[in-house]
Structure 1
Amino acid sequence: MIELTLIGIGTGNPQHLTLQAVGALNAQDLILIPNKGAGKDDLAGLRQSICTGAIRSDDQGGSAPSIVEFDLPVRDEATQDYRQRVDDWHDAIAEIWWQNITTHLPDGGKVGFLVWGDPSLYDSTMRIADRLKARADISLQVIPGITSIQALTAAHAIPINTINGPFTITTGRQLRDGGWPDGAETAVIMLDGACSFQSIDPEGVQIWWTAYAGMENEISISGALADVTDQIIDTRAKARADHGWIMDIYLLRRQG
């Protein structure tokens, strides 16, 4: 029997861990941490640091879980169909999970994965976990976490919506290909590596943009989209060059 726990850890700030998440980390026999390769090593390092701060040492009673890093496979961008690329990538990740679990817990046990933000929001960890259920007797528990959306609105001290106003959470790809979401006054854009706010008419649109939300190196810019577009693009490029990676999110709102 394998007990798989997906633990939402917030946006990289150790103080974002809930008490439930801390308890779940300490209850595991094995914690698997993905390494995304050169230039993104500090993402694995942040997970390691969170574990170091949250997991009790052996001399505090109980047995600390083993922590094992694994190399995350690169998604094949040669395949034209986006959905097929993602499905193939998830299959490859599930295979690596299975190999590590059976190697380090041959008799079963409790396995934990640290998930950025909350596992429910634009994260495929639960979909990957479902692939393992066909292989073994696996139970799945999910621990919610603080999302980058919460960190974004907190960074700018703004509500996510106007009074009784609708909002949409979507991706940069959808904004770029489909334009402004139908019926929404406010759009929260995630997973945007192309600064897709450039693809919409900036007239009357305000933007609140944050990179590394909730972390020590958090960067925030806000203002009329027409006025701050170039500043955001330049700041984003410099931050990515400095750190080797970037995670950012932004909120767009049409005035009136």
Structure 2
Amino acid sequence: MYDLTLIGIGTGNPDHVTIQGIQAIRRADLILIPRKGENKSDLAGLREEIISRATDKAPLIAYFDIPKRQAGDGYLRGVDEWHDAIAERWKAAIELHPDARNIALLIWGDPSLYDSALRIAARLDPRPKTRVVPGITALQALTAAHAIPINEIGDPFVVTTGRRIREEGWPSATKKMAVMLDGECSFQSLKMDDFDIWWGAYVGMKEEILINGPLAEKCQEIMSTRAKARADHGWIMDVYLLAKRTAT
């Protein structure tokens, strides 16, 4: 039986990896690295760079291909079946190295915030003892890059997805909302004159792009910048914070 460690590695800057994360990399016998297609090969390369910077004695690396998610049967069912398929890829990669006892995955951002690694790990049979090493989240990197706090004094804030904005709109009594996993620029569905936005792509990386200001003024700039960056790099990771203008 083996132990599984999910190591948060931040948002693309190798300096975001904590000392705890470095120690976990050094303890690993085997590290699983996902491959997401040729256009996203630099994501695997970044993980390889982090490993090489963390240890002079590199552990074994096993690569696995991420299956495509099917959405024909509904969003939640599609995600559930996708997680099953990824768990099978993990298991197949691990079984090729039966002597490995300390297995790790390097998780973009933090394994506990809008990441499914813990849910996928729970599908493994037999189920390993799983540990989590926290990492800097995209939300932390975004607010740090813009030098802003996420909260108003005494007020809560919401962290959600673009899909929820499109389906449900702006939550009542909410002044600030962070939005992750939004490939469709869902802020377009809001009454844009009412909001300010702080947007970032590749936050923490050398390719970092930041835009902020009134949403009505910045909407088209963000959309065109995002489209160009995605075309240039073949992939994009972005996150943004919205605030009711009465709250700023």
User: TM-score normalised by the shorter chain: which range applies?
Assistant: over 0.9
Residues 117-148 of structure 1: CA deviation (Å, up to 9, x unaligned): 1101110000000001xx22511100000000
Distance in 2, matches of 1:107 and 1:53, equals: 25
Shift of 1:108: 4.7
Q: How does 1:20-59 map to 2 (within 5 A)?
A: 20-57=20-57
Over the matched positions of the two proteins, sequence identity in percent amounts to: 56
What's 1:66 paired with? 60
Distance in 2, matches of 1:107 and 1:117, equals: 29
Show structure 1 runs of 5+ residues with no match.
Answer: 58-63
AA in 1 matched with 2:110: D
Q: Point out 4+ residue stretches in structure 1 off by more than 3 angstroms.
A: none
Distance in 1, matches of 2:64 and 2:200, equals: 29
What's 1:76 paired with? 70
CA contact (8 A) 1:94 1:128 kept: yes
Q: How does 1:224-235 map to 2 (within 5 A)?
A: 224-235=214-225
Distance in 2, matches of 1:122 and 1:182, equals: 22
Show structure 2 runs of 5+ residues with no match.
Answer: none
Distance in 2, matches of 1:114 and 1:94, equals: 15
Distance in 1, matches of 2:202 and 2:171, equals: 25
Distance in 2, matches of 1:245 and 1:125, equals: 20
What's 1:61 paired with? none
What's 2:89 paired with? 96
Q: 2:174 aligns with which of 177, 184, 187?
A: 184
AA in 2 matched with 1:127: R
Residues 20-79 of structure 1: CA deviation (Å, up to 9, x unaligned): 00000000000000000121111111111111111223xxxxxx31012111111123x2
Taking structure 2 as the reference length, what is the TM-score of the superposition? 0.97
Q: 2:109 aligns with which of 107, 117, 134?
A: 117
SS class of match (1:74)? coil
SS class of match (2:123)? helix
CA contact (8 A) 2:30 2:100 kept: no
SS class of match (2:150)? coil
CA contact (8 A) 1:166 1:183 kept: no
Distance in 2, matches of 1:11 and 1:244, equals: 17
Taking structure 1 as the reference length, what is the TM-score of the superposition? 0.94
What's 1:60 paired with? none
